[in-house]
Amino acid sequence: MKASRSIRSEQLTLILIITLPFFVLLLFTTYQEVQEETRRAQDSAFSLAQLTAAYTAQVIRDSEELLAEIAQRPLIRAMDSTNCDPFIRDFYEVVPTFIGLGVVEASGQIICSATVPAGDPLPSVADREWFQMVKQTGAFIVGPVQTGRLTGLWVSVLAYPVKDESGRFVGALVLPIDLVRYQAGLTGVTLPPEAIITIIDSEGTVVARTLEPELWVGRNTRGSEVVDAALAQGQGYERAQGTDGVERIYGFTAIPEANWYVYAGIPTSFAFARVQTALLRNSLLLMAFALFVAGLNTYLRRRIERPINALARVARAVAQGQTGERTPVTGPQEVVEVATQFNNMLDVNARRTEQLQELAEAALSLNATLAPSEVLQLATEKACQIIGTQLGLGRLAETAEGDQAITVTWSSGEYAAWQAHTERLAAGDLARVVEEANRPVRLSLGELEAHPARVQLGQVGGSLPPLRGWLAAPLNAGSGRTIGFIALSARGEDEFTAEDEAILLQMAQISSVAVENALLFLSLNEQREQLRGLALRLAETEESERRRLARELHDGVGQMLTALNIDLQLLSRRFPAGSAEAAHLEEAQNLVQETIERTRNVLAELRPTVLEESGLGMALRWYGEQFTQRTGIPVLVQGDEVDRRLPTDKELALFRVAQEALTNVVKHAQATRVAITLTKDPPHLRLTIADDGVGFDMVTFSRSRQRPDAAPSWGIINMRERAEAVGGRLYVESQLGNGTKIIIQTPLN
């Protein structure tokens, strides 16, 4: 026979049985969340590493192509230290990522450099490993990490061989990468706090780093867990302590183009922050629940003895997962009440848990839908299912923009007959009550029967089942204006409760945001696509016509002028030097040559090859010089350099806007100088064309444009259409006597 146990021990046992499953569930849930967050952090870190590797590889490939083009320039191939190609110093100003372009002859002596003032002695690099490699292989080389002989900075030299016409190695082009500055271009994303991206070479030496690059670039980090793993595996994941002592989840991969490796790390403190918050919250809930159970059991221990065993048995069963079990309602009045409340608590908790989960799932489903009618239909259906009704009505009012009203119903069972009478439900006073009150409306069975609107609905041939209760909540726009509602009925014999009203109000709030987002998305998307489509077609047509005209000039007029020039040269040989005929022929040759030059200038404006080859910044400088030579108005091109090429259509659009703006300066501004400025303000690029001309009054100008007989301002229209066609915005600022400023802002990507 078992020894009897005290009520205290029984209550303690009950507390343990009730709280233990929740604790186990907490641990299991936390473990799953840790695993999920680890996988997410691994995927994020690996994606960052891949993006960085792809970007770095592209920079190397682009640099190789650029050096290959520069190596063909006559002044470069000449290897003349007394006649350096001016492009070398221009390149240093255009591309700030690199320290400067240099030329090294076959002996290893530097003969031209953008980083050393003219006249200063230049050192030899014959002993450098990268020079020996490019000389031996005759191929493009990515040099090791080292301090630059000219600058003393940490660099990796990109070297490309220069060969004469017979293919003999005569020297090399050198392009050192400033590794400390290079780190800013590793990725285009915002990293979490203390997250890091590092590039190392095959020896473990740091090539670039996002955090404190000046302290780490050039340092050998072999021995670090993540560095050794990256060098050994080439690609994968690792959870390890970084070289700075911070534990992170790393992803790493290789950069074959340079025999480098890149690893990206996300701090575990950041990756698991959400898990830690959830663990703290769940722990507090568990503690609160445990305190509640302890207090309840203390009360029961004092008031009853015999019914406690039955209650304990049921509690143990529930703790073991048998959620269908309920406490027998027997014993004294207090015990009966406790048992009843305990059973109700289990029922309500199960129902509320289910409702909250369904609400969360509904929010995800609604936000994933961009059609207003689908959002409304799904919201009505989910509301009926969560609250447990057989009939639901959803309505969106007609908008000021002319969008027609949308009405939907959801029904089941015998209430499916109401499906054909959607408009009858939506047009009654029951629907208008919630729209006018702009607050939830809840009517009991008795209140509904006495409501005048119920009489208006009536019966359609006696075939429709009666409405049982009425619960409605408004759909509100961001301004608080009512844009519709969701209403429920047919709850059966049960009344709608305050909890049901709260659930429906939450569903309505979620649905309001989803509906407004869907309406806004449809409107903006339609307008944007129409405007961009029109602008793109206009721009494409114009550029196509420019290219056609350029081909006609080049293949027709250009070739004929060249042939005429050759014929004049041949003809001039038949007359003695100094004769009148020779003088006339020389004058004709000069005229033909001038015509050829002007034709080339026209071709360059129609199809600017410098834009295709060197990018927007170089093209603007070239065009500014041409404009100054042609008009006598000085043009200063300044500002930030773009560290990577923009999309072709975006570069072309910005260049054409600058052309149009300068044309307007000649026509209207009476300016003495023009400034063109490129400014990077991530994630945007801003192009500004400002003159010091007479300007104009913006208010007067805007009013004049509104007159029916006003001639269209085609210059501004063309510039605005080109900017909007590539996702940008155009702004015009001007005052009488203070010049005019044209500003174009467009995304960098």
Instruction: Look at residue 527 in the predicted model and tell me its pLDDT.
Output: 61
Mean pLDDT of 502-528: 75
Q: Where does 62-179 sit in CATH, by number?
A: 3.30.450.20
- Crossing angle of helices 333-367 and 308-319, in 10° steps, is 20
| Burial (CB count within 10 angstroms: exposed 0-12, middle 13-18, buried 19+), residue 491 | buried
**C-alpha to C-alpha distance for 309 and 314, rounded to whole angstroms:** 9
| pLDDT average, residue stretch 712-738 | 81
SS3 call for 648: helix
Higher-pLDDT residue of 114 and 735 is: 735
Render pLDDT for 161-183 as a digit per residue (tens, 0 to 9): 999 888 899 999 998 888 887 76
CB atoms within 10 A of CB 456: 12
* Token code pair at residue 52: 């960085």
- Pick the more confident residue, 432 or 606: 432
3-class DSSP state of 560:
helix
pLDDT category at 594 given cuts 50, 70, 90 is low
Can you give the pLDDT at residue 13? 73
Burial class for 311, CB neighbours closer than 10 Å (0-12, 13-18, 19+): buried
Q: pLDDT confidence of 676, banded at 50, 70, 90? A: very high
Residue 564: closest CA among 603, 535, 591: 591
Candidate from 228-237, 580-589, 682-691 with smallest mean pLDDT: 580-589
| Lowest mean pLDDT across 410-424, 519-533, 621-635 | 519-533
Q: Give the per-residue pLDDT at 537.
A: 61
CATH class, range 369-525: alpha beta
Question: Mean of the pLDDT values across residues 201-206?
Answer: 90
Residue 506 pLDDT: 84
Percent of the chain at pLDDT > 70 equals: 69
Highest mean pLDDT among 3-17, 106-120, 434-448: 106-120
Q: What CATH class has 612-747?
A: alpha beta
The per-residue pLDDT for 354 is: 67
Q: What amino acid is encoded at 507 in this protein?
A: M
> pLDDT band for position 141 (50/70/90)?
very high
Please give the average per-residue pLDDT across 333-352, as a whole number.
69
Q: Which has the closest alpha carbon to 140: 157, 159, 156?
A: 159
| Rounded mean pLDDT, 554-579 | 63
Q: Which of 151, 111, 112, 104 is nearest to 128 (CA)?
A: 104
Over residues 691-705, the pLDDT tens digits come to 998 888 776 776 665
pLDDT the model gives residue 23: 73
Q: What are the pLDDT digits (tens) for 376-404?
A: 888 888 888 888 888 888 888 765 455 56
Taking 50 as the threshold, does the pLDDT of residue 461 lie above it?
no
Which stretch, 77-86, 132-141, 460-469, 740-749, has highest mean pLDDT?
132-141
Question: What pLDDT, on the 0 to 100 scale, is given for residue 568?
Answer: 66
Mean pLDDT, to the nearest integer, of 178-190?
Answer: 66
Does residue 456 surpass a pLDDT of 50? no
Residue 334 confidence class, pLDDT cut points 50, 70, 90: low
Question: What's the confidence (pLDDT) of residue 185?
Answer: 47
- Region of 270 (left: φ > 0; alpha: ψ -120 to 50; beta: rest) is alpha
What confidence tens digit (pLDDT) does each residue in 467-488 have?
778 888 888 877 677 878 888 8
Q: Angle between the 714-725 and 648-664 helix axes, to the nearest 10 degrees? A: 160
Sign of CA dihedral 694, 697, 698, 700: negative
- pLDDT confidence of residue 251: 92
Report the range of poorest mean pLDDT among 212-216, 487-491, 589-593, 631-635.
589-593
| Confidence grade of residue 262 (pLDDT, cut at 50, 70, 90) | very high
Which has the higher per-residue pLDDT, 92 or 707? Answer: 92
Split at pLDDT 50, 70, 90, the class of 532 is low
pLDDT surpasses 50 at 460: no
Please report which confidence band the pLDDT of residue 353 belongs to, taking 50, 70 and 90 as the band edges.
Answer: low
The pair of three-digit structure tokens given for residue 732, joined into one six-digit string: 């015009």
Q: Among 109-123, 221-235, 275-289, which is the least confidently predicted range?
A: 275-289
Phi, psi of 456 (to 5 degrees): -65, -40
Whole-number pLDDT of residue 80: 85
- Out of 122-136, 180-194, 238-252, pick the least confident: 180-194
Query: Is residue 446 scored above 80 in pLDDT?
Result: no
* The two structure tokens encoding residue 583: 């003088």
What's the 3-state SS for 92-134? HHHCCCECCCEEEECCCEEEEECCCCCCCCCCECCCCHHHHHH
Whether residue 566 has pLDDT greater than 70: no
Taking the CA atoms of 514, 520, 526 and 528 in sequence, report the sign of the dihedral they define. negative
For the segment 269-279, the average pLDDT, to the nearest whole number, is: 76
Q: What is the pLDDT of residues 76-85, one digit of tens each?
A: 888 888 888 8
Average pLDDT, the chain: 77
pLDDT of residue 736: 86
Question: Degrees (nearest 5) of the Cα angle 352, 354, 355?
Answer: 60
Residue 171: predicted pLDDT = 92
Please report which confidence band the pLDDT of residue 51 belongs to, taking 50, 70 and 90 as the band edges: confident
123-127 long-range Cβ contacts below 8 angstroms, 24+ apart: 123/149, 123/150, 125/149, 125/174
* 510-522: average pLDDT: 76
